[in-house]
């Protein structure tokens, strides 16, 4: 068990190293004058000096394009990344790690609530659809699930904004707080409610987009289990359909479900770029998109490394959960 874990961990580190090299190479693709373009404003305002720019170029391997130069600067960059220093964002004027830790929580909150809703709505719907396969309910739910995955997030957001924010005026259009009202500093509850009010539409968008996946996943796995021999035995024993479905079938469907759902957990910190941007919610996705547009290389590289690490962590967690949940899995 421990040996297996160590092996997986080693693999994860190798993958992350590879990803870091690739992300680094991507920044090399950018032309050198790109940094000049992007830093000219900061230079003029005095936020950066010419030396800073040269150091930046050196750090991102843009000053010396020979192989030796690239390797040297990559190692410098890797060393500081491993020690937790992701550099200094020139768009936000703060260390990248500070920006990340500042804006991550709002993204996590949105993603987490929508994740819970996804589970609450998607799993029961998937079970019901699989029990009555090819019924009208099954078809309707499947088509809706697919529609969720086919909808571009920006289009769904625009539709919801048009109906609920503009036509009906129930929810605010954009932002996280109402700019026109001033709250007393100690009115924490009101401030919180105001924020929740602003987050209803974005959470709805994320839930609608993702609930279909959970539902379909549940349905497919339930169908697989429902066709196994022991389900027939359970039915032959005269157990009620309810017991067969929820006790015998669903418990086994839980294995892939828990594995995949727990693997999603780290990804909740990554932020929803498009949805956050459309609703102008200052989460990590919104900040990252702004940074990408402005060519804030330290932030972009830090953010992408962070996302890659989250993905690897997710893979690791679902591996471990698979072992924990399924007693049949024996490791060698």
Partner 1 sequence: MTDKERNKAMSYTDNNNTEPELVQNFRVISPGRMVAKRFFKSKLSIAGLIMIIFVFIFSFVGPLIIDATWGYKETQVFKIERNTDMVTVAQFTGPDGRTYDYYDKSQTVIIFKAPPSAEHWLGTDTSGFDIFTRLMYGGRISLVISFIVIFLETLVGIILGGLAGYFGKWVDQLIMRIVDVFACLPYLPILLVLSAAISSIETIPAEHRIYYLMAFITLMGWTGVARIVRGQILMLREQEYMMAATTTGISSIHKIFRHLIPNTMPQLIVSATLGLGGVILYESTLSYLGLGVPFPRAAWGSMIALADPSRGQEILAYYPNMWVPAGILIVVTVLGFSFIGDGLRDAFDPRMKR
The site for partner 1 (CB under 8 A) is made up of 11, 14-16, 18-19, 22-23, 26, 29-31, 34, 37, 133, 139, 142-143, 146-147, 149-155, 158-159, 161-162, 166-167, 173-174, 223, 227, 270, 273-274, 278, 280, 288-289, 292-293, 295, 300, 303-304, 307-308, 311-312, 315
Q: HSE, CB side, 13 Å, CA atoms: give it for residue 145.
A: 23
Q: Quote the CA–CA distance of 126 and 256 in Å, as a whole number.
A: 14
For residues 296 and 91, the answer to whether their CB atoms sit within 8 Å is yes
Structure letter (DSSP) for residue 83: T
Indicate the residue among 6 and 26 with the shorter CB distance to partner 1.
26
* Nearer of residues 48 and 312 to partner 1, judged by Cβ: 312
Q: How far is the CB of 125 from partner 1 (least distance, A)?
A: 17
Q: In angstroms, what is the minimal distance from the CB of 146 to partner 1?
A: 5
Nearer to partner 1, 158 or 331 (CB): 158
Q: How far is the CB of 169 from partner 1 (least distance, A)?
A: 11
C-alpha atoms less than 13 angstroms from C-alpha of 219 in its C-beta half-sphere: 24
Q: What angle do CA 27, 30, 36 make, to 5 degrees?
A: 110
CB of 8 to partner 1, least distance (A): 12
Beta-carbon contacts of residue 212 (< 8 Å; ≥ 6 apart): 122, 144, 145, 146, 147, 148, 149
**CA 304, 310, 313, 315 torsion-angle sign:** negative
Comparison of 122 and 271: residue with beta carbon closer to partner 1: 271
DSSP string, 258-314: HHHHHHHTGGGGS--HHHHHHTT--SHHHHHHHHHHHT-HHHHHHHHHHHHHHHHHH
State which residue, 41 or 187, has the beta carbon closest to partner 1: 41
Q: Tokens 């009208």 — which residue?
A: 136
Q: By C-beta, is 136 or 184 nearer to partner 1?
A: 136
95 has which bridge partners?
Answer: 88
Least distance (Å) between residue 189 CB and partner 1: 28
CB-wise, 93 or 152, nearer to partner 1? 152
CB of 298 to partner 1, least distance (A): 13
Closest distance to partner 1 from the beta carbon of 174 (Å) = 6
Q: Which is nearer to partner 1, 117 or 312 (CB)?
A: 312
Minimum CB distance to partner 1, residue 300 (Å):
6
Beta carbons of 145 and 211 less than 8 angstroms apart? yes
The pair of structure tokens assigned to 67 is 């192989």
């Amino acid at each position: 068990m421990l040996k297996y874990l160590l092996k997986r961990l080693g693999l994860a580190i190798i993958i992350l190293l590879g990803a870091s090299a690739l992300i680094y190479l991507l920044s090399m693709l950018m032309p050198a004058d790109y940094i000049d373009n992007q830093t000219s404003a900061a230079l003029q305002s005095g936020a950066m000096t010419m030396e800073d720019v040269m150091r930046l170029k050196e750090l991102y391997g843009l000053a010396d394009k020979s192989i030796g130069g690239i390797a040297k600067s990559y190692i410098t960059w890797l060393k500081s990344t491993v020690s937790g220093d992701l550099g200094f964002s020139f768009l936000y004027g703060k260390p990248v790690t500070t920006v990340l830790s500042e804006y991550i929580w709002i993204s996590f909150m949105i993603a987490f609530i929508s994740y819970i809703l996804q589970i609450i709505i998607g799993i029961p719907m998937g079970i019901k659809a699989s029990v009555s396969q090819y019924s009208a309910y099954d078809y309707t739910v499947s088509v809706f699930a697919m529609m969720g995955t086919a909808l571009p997030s920006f289009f769904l957001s625009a539709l919801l904004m048009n109906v609920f924010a503009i036509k009906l005026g129930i929810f605010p259009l954009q932002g996280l707080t109402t700019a026109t009202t001033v709250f007393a500093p100690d009115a924490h509850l009101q401030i919180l409610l105001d924020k929740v009010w602003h987050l209803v539409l974005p959470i709805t968008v994320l839930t609608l987009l993702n609930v279909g996946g959970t539902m379909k996943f549940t349905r497919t796995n339930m169908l697989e289990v429902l066709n196994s021999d022991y389900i027939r035995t359970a039915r032959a024993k005269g157990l009620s359909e309810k017991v067969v479905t929820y006790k015998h079938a669903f418990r086994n469907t839980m294995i892939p479900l828990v594995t995949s759902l727990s693997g999603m957990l780290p990804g909740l910190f990554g932020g929803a770029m498009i949805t956050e941007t459309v609703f102008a919610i200052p989460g990590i996705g919104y900040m990252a998109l702004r940074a990408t547009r402005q060519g804030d290389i330290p932030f972009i590289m830090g953010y992408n490394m962070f996302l890659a690490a989250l993905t690897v962590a997710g893979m690791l967690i679902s591996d471990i959960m698979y072992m924990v949940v399924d007693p049949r899995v024996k490791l060698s």
